[in-house]
Amino acid sequence: MRIFTVLIDTFYSLQASTGIKTYISELCEIDSGGSYHYIPFPKISTINKITVFKNNNRTGRLIFHCCYFLWKTVWLPVVVKWYKADAVICPDFVGPMWKMEAIKIITMHDATFWKFPKEFGGLWRKYITTMIHLGCRGKSQIIATSDYTRKSLPSSLSKVPAEVVYQSSSRLSRHKFVESNSWTNELGLESGKYFLHVGFFGKRKNIKTLVNAFDMFQKQNGDYKLVLVGGKAIDGYMDEHSNIEKLVLSLSLNEKVIIPGYVEDEVLAGLYKNAAMYVFPSYEEGFGIPILEAWQFELPVIVSNSGALPEVGGDAVLVFEPFDAPDLSNKMYDLVADQVLREQMIEKGRRRLNQFAKERFYEKINLLVEDRLNPD
């Protein structure tokens, strides 16, 4: 029996700090067996030792993308050839630049580059979309993280077959969360008395609406806080970090809104475990991993009625109109005041989480690889 070699491109993990990093980590745990041998390259253990690209400044980003360009145009094709790979999975939008014998399987996490072009610098958007199109030449297959993403892809990619594969997220459940009160004391938090949001401060995350809604909520319920975990957006053109800080100060919420930056997974797990609820106000998401993470810690979830969030959340989330702060504030109040509703949403989340089990994710990846390598 022939064993097919499938390379998993992990290079983007050198810089990624949020969703794509989680996706790559989950993907790299897929078991080799039967007819398929999966090889993450570079190894995650090697990636974790390299921290030079984690510094989110202009120089660091420029150096990374020079290396990234060389990786996709030169080094990755060489690695694919070296391992005699039958397929290469690129979980970061961009495949190898050249046509090759190996099948290129490329994950598209969203269609933001095409749907919201003004949120990116012109040169940056031109660079990345050109890379995406060049990477899809030849024998290629697109993985879309949601049906919303699949339908949102530009017509220029319509000739590339695309299949929806829902991802999983179990990284936090594997970490022993911080049991001590050191992190709560440091952040001034009380268990069950804060709302949580996790993600970078990009414009599409719609954090401004969240802060305004929380301001309305806390005027009637002043013993709650809002924790915004994350850092600046990689592309400065869509970063809202400084604007959010100014908004917090203008609303006199500097003691109520906590912005700790990025935190270690162990601490993040503790923040999920002790939160009152998770709020996801983004107006454009191709999936929404924090929904799954919140369900893992049995939190009720509120999402905007936009992007892929309603698709992922189903009936296990409360929804609000994405720019309607009063609507969001009311949903926050409902989950705090109505214990029956809260317990219902937690139970629905627990059940729906099974649809995004890691085993299902891996099964779909295996089936897709099998279909492309054994078309008959």
User: How many structural domains are present in the chain?
Assistant: 2
Same domain as 256, residue 139? no
Rounded to 5°, the CA angle 29-34-40 comes to 30
Phi, psi of 63 (to 5 degrees): -60, -45
Q: State which of 133, 149, 165 marks the end of a domain.
A: 165
Same domain as 151, residue 61? yes
- Using an 8 Å Cβ cutoff, are 112 and 203 in contact? no
pTM for the model:
0.93
Helix (H, G, I), strand (E, B) or coil at 9: strand
Residue 368: pLDDT band with limits 50, 70, 90:
very high
Residue 180 has pLDDT above 80, yes or no: no
Residue 170 has pLDDT above 60, yes or no: yes
Domain coverage including residue 305: 172-355
SS (HEC) of 112-167: HHHHCHHHCCHHHHHHHHHHHHHHCCCCEEEEECCHHHHHHCCHHHCCCCEEECCC
- CATH at 221: 3.40.50.2000
End-to-end CA distance of the chain: 16
Please report whether residue 298 resides in a domain.
Answer: yes
Question: What's the confidence (pLDDT) of residue 239?
Answer: 83
Residue 179 has pLDDT above 70, yes or no: no
Residue 152: pLDDT band with limits 50, 70, 90:
very high
Question: What's the confidence (pLDDT) of residue 265?
Answer: 85
Q: What is the average pLDDT value for the chain, to the nearest integer?
A: 91
Instruction: Kindly state the average pLDDT of the residues 49-75.
Output: 84
Same domain as 149, residue 220? no
Of 167-181, 264-278, 306-320, least confident by mean pLDDT is 167-181
Phi-psi region of 208 (alpha: psi -120 to 50; beta: other; left: phi over 0): alpha
Nearest to 290 by CA among 274, 270, 313: 313
The pLDDT > 90 percentage for the chain reads: 74
Same domain as 269, residue 344? yes
At 49, list the tokens. Answer: 């030792």
Same domain as 123, residue 246? no
Residue 58 has pLDDT above 80, yes or no: no
Helix (H, G, I), strand (E, B) or coil at 182: helix
The amino acid at residue 160 is V
pLDDT tens digits, residue range 278-335?
999 999 999 999 999 999 999 999 999 999 999 999 999 999 999 999 999 999 999 9
Same domain as 291, residue 232? yes
Q: The sheet that has 103-108: what strands, in order across it?
A: 36-41, 4-9, 87-90, 103-108, 140-144, 162-164
At 53, list the tokens. Answer: 């690209």
Same domain as 324, residue 180? yes
Instruction: Kindly state the average pLDDT of the residues 184-206.
Output: 90
How far apart (Å, rounded) are the C-alpha atoms in residues 120 and 126? 9
Question: What's the confidence (pLDDT) of residue 65?
Answer: 87
Phi, psi of 76 (to 5 degrees): -60, -45
Residue 181: pLDDT band with limits 50, 70, 90:
low
Question: What's the confidence (pLDDT) of residue 188?
Answer: 83
Of 35-39, 151-155, 233-237, 246-250, least confident by mean pLDDT is 233-237
- CATH at 155: 3.40.50
